[in-house]
Amino acid sequence: MSDEIGRLATREYEVMLPDGTKAKLGFALCDLGRENALARHARKRNAVAFGLLSFEGFAEAPVHPALWVQTTAGMEMVVSDGDAQPGPKLQHMIARHFALFFADINDVAPGLAALPLSAEEERPN
């Protein structure tokens, strides 16, 4: 898989919301070695991995994909200017699906599933 941000692996997970509607979380693992703004940001954060997370069908979720950065200390997620931070319930759902995503891509990124998922959220300055 090749594109400008260097997606190495992608997965999409359909989830059932409390009201019975379906939504999707889309995960992408990107190439940390690429020379682009996202990879440079991740390297500045001492990332061991990074990628994008998209939301479809969620009433209270960021409109644009969020950037996630995994370090040895935990996970950081950056949303676009003007996008709302995911609420606590959505954050919990995201964390569960990150664990699933990391297990699913173990052949591409071995050991990623063993790292902590405690999240820090930030907005770009």
Is pTM beyond 0.75 here?
yes
Q: Per-residue confidence at 124, pLDDT binned at 50, 70, 90? A: very low
pLDDT at 67 over 50: yes
Tally of CB atoms within 10 A around 45: 17
Write out the two tokens for 85.
């931070």
- The domain ranges of the chain are 7-122
Q: Where are the beta strands (DSSP E) in 20-115?
A: 22-30, 49-56, 66-70, 75-78
105: Cα separation from own chain's centroid: 13
pLDDT value of residue 112: 86
The predicted-structure confidence for 98-118, as pLDDT tens digits, reads as follows 999 999 999 999 888 887 665
Torsional class of 101: left (φ above 0), alpha (ψ -120 to 50), beta (otherwise): alpha
